[in-house]
Amino acid sequence: MAYSGGVDSAYLAYAATRALGGSALCITADSPSYPERHRQMAVRVAREFGFQHEIIRTDEMSRPEYRANPANRCYFCKTELYTHLSAIARERGIPTIVDGSNADDRGDYRPGRQAAREFGVLSPLESAGLTKAEIRELSHRAGLPTWDEPASACLSSRIPYHDEVTDEKLRTIEKAESVLRELGFRICRVRHHGDIARLELGRDEIARAIEPDLAETIDRELRALGYSHVTIDLRGYRLGSLNDALRLRPV
């Protein structure tokens, strides 16, 4: 299974390991777009719950289609991932590849699902009709520390479509979000608009962010990373906010 260590894939890994033991192989794909804190979480949970776990290196950044950052960027990332997982499955005689897509994902724009269909990847959580809220509840009952983790996505999702994805941008975004977490923000995204950092925070955290002393600290720390302007989106964090631009610009 594709195991990122997020809420959904962690619960799927837990359930599969309980059902299949060591026959359930959890693969984490490490790449420049995968945050280090997610990798650490994936390793920690796998160790604590006895998952058969391996980390592989994927290289979606070598694909010009991915770096160009079209609206279907995720398709090229997932194609890279499933190419590796399919090879591993063939070599080891594993009959099925699964991912952690859930029932809520049906209503979101997810071009990576096309790649999953092309490679015959199954989505047990979606097939069972489990929503994110239900998966969180089941994870809580199971004692998984991921049960209340904020929604997560790859770092490339912070870059507006059609702006090139580069390693330098990804590292800057990762450092900026680390600054916010170290300052106590739980839900945060740093949307990278050239020299502008647009911060999406949990709505209940926005007021704290604009307190003079903390606002000054945020501004100083992010400017030190190379941003000329640091702004706060007053609408707060919302899933897939960069998809808003798709209504205004052709894919």
Handedness of CA 147, 98, 56, 157 (dihedral sign): negative
Mean pLDDT over all residues of the chain?
Answer: 94
pLDDT band at 249 (very low <50, low <70, confident <90, very high): low
The count of structural domains within the chain is 2
Domain boundary among 147, 163, 184: 147
User: Do 161 and 141 belong together in one domain?
Assistant: no
Domain boundary among 117, 147, 177: 147
Share of the chain above pLDDT 90, in %: 90
Q: What's the rounded Cα separation, in Å, for the pair 151 and 147?
A: 10
The confidence score (pLDDT) of residue 228 equals 98
Q: What is the pLDDT of residues 181-201, one digit of tens each?
A: 999 999 999 999 999 999 999
The confidence score (pLDDT) of residue 244 equals 60
User: Do 63 and 162 belong together in one domain?
Assistant: no
On the question of pLDDT at 115 being above 60, the answer is yes
pTM assigned to the model: 0.90
Handedness of CA 6, 129, 74, 227 (dihedral sign): negative
- Per the model's pLDDT, the better-predicted residue between 151 and 147 turns out to be 147
Q: Which two tokens stand for residue 146?
A: 């991921």
Share of the chain above pLDDT 70, in %: 94
What is the CATH classification number for the domain harbouring 184? 3.30.70
User: Do 31 and 94 belong together in one domain?
Assistant: yes
The confidence score (pLDDT) of residue 110 equals 83
Reference 76, options 139, 6, 154, 5; nearest CA is: 154
pLDDT band at 66 (very low <50, low <70, confident <90, very high): very high
pLDDT (mean) for 46-69: 97
Domain boundary among 104, 131, 147: 147
Supply the range of the domain harboring residue 237.
155-247
The confidence score (pLDDT) of residue 109 equals 75
pLDDT (mean) for 143-155: 93
The confidence score (pLDDT) of residue 238 equals 84
pLDDT band at 251 (very low <50, low <70, confident <90, very high): very low
- 196 and 228 Cβ atoms separated by less than 8 Å: yes
Look at residue 2 and tell me if it is in a domain: no
On the question of pLDDT at 246 being above 60, the answer is no
